[in-house]
Structure 1
Amino acid sequence: MSQAEVRVSPRFLVSELRLIAVRRRNQVGLAALAAVPVVLAVAMKVATPDGRDGGRGPDFFAQILGNGFFVALAALGVELGLFLPIAIAMLAGDAVAGEAAQGTLRYLLTVPVGRTRLLAIKYAGIVLGAFVAPLVVAVSGLIAGLLLFGGGDVTTLSGTSIGLGTALLRLLAVCLYLGVCLAALGAVGLFLSTLTEQPMGATIALTMLTVASFVLGQVPQLDWLHPYLLTRHWQDFGELLRDPVSWRALWPGLLSAGGYITVFLPAAWARFAGRDVTS
């Protein structure tokens, strides 16, 4: 096989995705993400809701009893505050630092696999996780909600009614939007993963950064900083439940995510390209 064929071979990517899929901690993490909407739906079924979600995003809790479709949206809003970022932090923190901790990073670079290609494959796995995670939450919430509360036409945040099929397409768009936001978080995590040989350290650092971004976003005195915060526009996914959809309102979130990706992927490459790999 020629060197050119080695470079374009998808086997390394397939191997990385398979490794991510079979890791027990990733499977447990996805199971935990899927369990939260079920717990939420059961709790709403047996208790009287107070109609509050504790966040600054749209309130979907008040509509759950009338239509189980909203369990998926409420669960996404709840998990976006901590559980989804932790899932991506675990995946991103393990990308490079995990290989170093296991002593396999040096071996990978002698396969031969260039450092740029290695980072690209690692980030591809993170991006896949960023899109799969909200889909798992949405599907779990949708199934639990429809089973416990039924379905039917969905009332948008604008007060109009749309069919369930259209609402499902809107839900898919919500997951894609959140996937882009989480992919930006993954880019930051990949950079942190190149700074250490301890994956837990990178995971904790990224989780703390996410929590700090949420907290700072609630401080009015720091309104000058708010547009630059990583999590500033995550809750804007509610705009997809308006009729008509305010696409312009989604652009700031997409541009913010693109900005973080543009900054931190090259930073990760610059750090990793000049790093002395000893393990």
Structure 2
Amino acid sequence: MANQQYIKDNPSGFPYQYYRTHLTDSQPDTIYHWHEDLELIYVHKGSARYHINGHHFNSQAGDIIIIQSEHMQSIHPLPHKEQDSETFRIHLNHIGRAIIDEYSQRYLQPLQNGHFELTPLIQVDMPGYQKLKDCLLAIFNLVKEESLYYDILLKSKLHEFLYYLFKYRHVNRHYTDDTYQKYQKLKELIDYINHHYQESLSIPHLADTFGYSRAHFMTVFKQHTGSSCLDFILQVRLNKACELLLQTTMPIQDIASQVGFNNLSNFNRHFKHYLQLTPKQYRKQFNKTKPS
């Protein structure tokens, strides 16, 4: 009898990301960003503040949070609260979006290009909740166990999850072209700040660069992000500082200068107000490989 050999090691090359997150109020905000993947989150316990493409809400245990491709998102820890969640991310290309057929054109391509919009928050009293929850938890179990040939069933479960979204009317036509253009311009602005945070960034300069009056610029930014532009720039700089504190042994004064602060005491004051720790305390508490 011939020897049997099993196909091993995820042969389909089915890329995804899966992770568990424990969020506390001692951690910096996850500031506005976006990516090309569909992101599925289940909140096991606790609460945090989510901003997703103009939708603002505080999560609670049992919530299913859906973040669509290219949708802007931010997550903010709440004072004296924590949150435990699981997240699965995948590009729709890997479940058939890139295939040119009627199925892809009808369902997957409009989700990827933004012509359809997914409901960002599905709660226990909403239609189809239990089926969506059971399916999402099954997806998590599959990627945690990685049993033989699991990727075949994983792809099936992702299609099942999309089926329930469509069946229970959690897929809607997109907003108007005018609103879409505002989001596109806002994404360009945020991308600009993320690449120029080391420079001097003023509201008049940013408004002029992106074709707004100063007053309209400030109104649009606050309306769609829940934060003033100056607060957002400050958060970007402090988040970059946190990364450098943990990933390098650079002196704190050099870090302050590198992320756009020309005054060390000003940097220290903002850092402590935002993170309830001094930069030195933050580096000592969170860096397991302490700098020499």
Q: TM-score range by the shorter chain?
A: under 0.3
Greater percentage in helix: 1
Q: TM-score, normalised on structure 2?
A: 0.22
Greater percentage in strand: 2
* Bigger-Rg structure (1/2): 2
Taking CA–CA contacts closer than 8 Å with sequence separation of 6 or more, which of the two structures ends up with the larger relative contact order? 1
